Amino acid sequence: MAVKIKKGTALGMLSLTPLIDVVFLLLIFFLVATRFAQEERELDVMLPSASEARPLTVQPKEMFINIDHQGRYFVDGNTLTAQEIENVLQQAIADNPVGQSVIVRADKRVQLDFVVFVMNACNKAGIFDYSLTIEGQGG
C-alpha cells in the first residue's frame, strides 16, 4: 500500500510583497541619508583656524619606558633622569589627553623602587593606563 505524503502549503502561502516593500523602503532611506551627508560637506563655509589646534582623532602611541639593571631610564633610546621622566610623562599627557598608555619594561635585577617611581610619575601626570611587561609579552 502506497503512503501519500501531503506537502505543506506554508511555502506556497508565503507572500514576497511585504519583503519587497521593506527592501525598497530601506533603499530609499539610505539614498536620502547619503544625500544629506553629502550636502553637509558641500556647504560653502569659511572655517576659522587656530594656531594651537590639534586633531582629536589621532590615536596616541604607546610610550615605552625601559629600566636597565642599574636603574637607568630609557625612552626612545635616550637616557633620562628621574626629573626628565616626569617631564616626558607630563608632555605626553598634554599631547594626548585621552588614551595615553605607558609600558614599563624593567630588568628583573633592578630594584623595585625604580619601577614604583615610574608608576608614581604616571599617576602624577594623570596617566592611569600603564603596565609592566614581563617575558613572553614582548619583553
Q: What are the pLDDT digits (tens) for 114-125?
A: 999 999 999 999
Overall pTM > 0.85: no
Write the DSSP symbol of residue 137. Answer: T
The most confident of 11-20, 58-67, 122-131, by mean pLDDT: 122-131
- Give the count of alpha carbons within 13 A of 43, CB side only: 9
**Predicted confidence band of residue 26 (pLDDT cuts 50, 70, 90):** very high
Burial of 72 (0-12, 13-18, 19+ CB in 10 A): middle
The most confident of 11-20, 28-37, 111-120, 125-134, by mean pLDDT: 111-120
The pLDDT score that the predictor gives to residue 139 is 46
Q: What are the residues whose beta carbons fall under 8 Å from the beta carbon of 122, sequence distance 6 or more?
A: 89, 102, 128, 130
Q: Who wins on pLDDT, 116 or 1?
A: 116
The pLDDT score that the predictor gives to residue 90 is 92
Give exposure, 34-50, as e/b (b: 16+ Cβ within 10 Å).
Answer: eeeeeeeeeeeeeeeee
Under DSSP, is residue 87 helix (H, G, I), strand (E, B) or coil? helix
Average pLDDT of the chain to the nearest whole number: 80
φ and ψ at residue 102, rounded to 5 degrees: -125, 135
Under DSSP, is residue 126 helix (H, G, I), strand (E, B) or coil? coil
